[in-house]
Amino acid sequence: MDTVAHQRLLNTVLGLTMVLFGLCFFMGAGYVYLHPPEPIGEARLIEGDIRTCQNTLIQLGHEVHRQGNELRVERVSSTFDNAERMLADASLGISACSLPIVRFCMGAGCTLRGVSFALSTQVSATNSRK
């Protein structure tokens, strides 16, 4: 058998094999896309440790009120001169609480002149710290 004809046959067979594998992988990707796995479910929520959070926020000069599943935190400033300090205190309080932020507003565009934010008291059972 001629070397050129043999090489041509080999290239044709390998090319067809690659096309078939490509089609199989493409169909497999389509199947996975059209039939995604079922979701595992939502994480169970538990009550976070809010007592120390409230104490920390109060020590930083904020007013703290609990309403439903939220801690609503406010700090009013009539002159709003020390905005950087207010933002630093709010950031420190939020990071110390380790609770999810629901809302945050600061400045003249807020209903309250100053800083206000809300933290969720519900945390995921898998992410809670003991």
Lay out the sheet containing 101-107: strands in order across.
63-67, 70-76, 114-120, 101-107
Task: Indicate whether 32 pLDDT > 50.
Answer: yes
Q: Where are the beta strands (DSSP E) in 48-128?
A: 63-67, 70-76, 101-107, 114-120, 122-124
pLDDT for 69 equals: 87
Instruction: Give CA separation, 115 vs 54, 93, 100, in Å.
Output: 16, 12, 17
Which run of H or E residues covers position 46? Answer: strand 45-47
**Averaged pLDDT for residues 61-78:** 88
**Residues 126/102, Cβ–Cβ less than 8 Å:** no
pLDDT digits (tens, 9 = 90+) for 16-27: 999 999 999 999
Instruction: Give CA separation, 80 vs 59, 72, 104, in Å.
Output: 19, 20, 17
pLDDT digits (tens, 9 = 90+) for 90-118: 999 999 888 889 999 987 778 777 889 99
pTM score, whole prediction: 0.59
pLDDT for 2 equals: 78
